[in-house]
């Protein structure tokens, strides 16, 4: 996501996962697409200019360890 675009099927293949292995993450992008934060063309996800400040939301859609609805906050050490 450093380039604000990623081909998720190509990433899956590179790591030995089947194409379509990120289908659940792609589904979680629906509200972000509706809000104009990102766009999807086939398997390429692109963060829009409006989505730049919240690019972490797009990446979080693919985070296998993030529980949906779980509140997460930074904690000072």
- 3-58 confidence digits (pLDDT tens): 999 999 999 999 998 878 889 999 999 999 999 999 999 999 999 999 999 999 99
Regarding pTM above 0.85, the answer is no
5-60: CATH number: 1.10.10.920
Residue 18 pLDDT? 84
- Domain segments of the chain: what residues? 5-60
Strand order in the sheet with 38-41: 5-7, 44-47, 38-41
Cα separation, 16 vs 67, whole angstroms: 24
- Two tokens at 60? 């979080």
- Helix, strand, coil percentages (3-state) for the chain, rounded to 5, are 35, 15, 50
CB 46 within 8 A of CB 13: no
Residue 4 pLDDT? 96
């Amino acid at each position: 996501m450093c380039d604000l675009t990623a081909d998720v099927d190509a990433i899956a293949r590179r790591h030995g996962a089947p194409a379509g292995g990120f289908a659940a993450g792609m589904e979680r992008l629906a509200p972000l697409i509706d809000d104009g934060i990102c766009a999807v063309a086939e398997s390429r996800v692109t963060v829009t200019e409006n989505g730049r400040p919240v690019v972490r939301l797009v990446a979080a859609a693919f985070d296998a360890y993030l529980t949906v609805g779980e509140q997460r906050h930074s904690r000072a050490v």
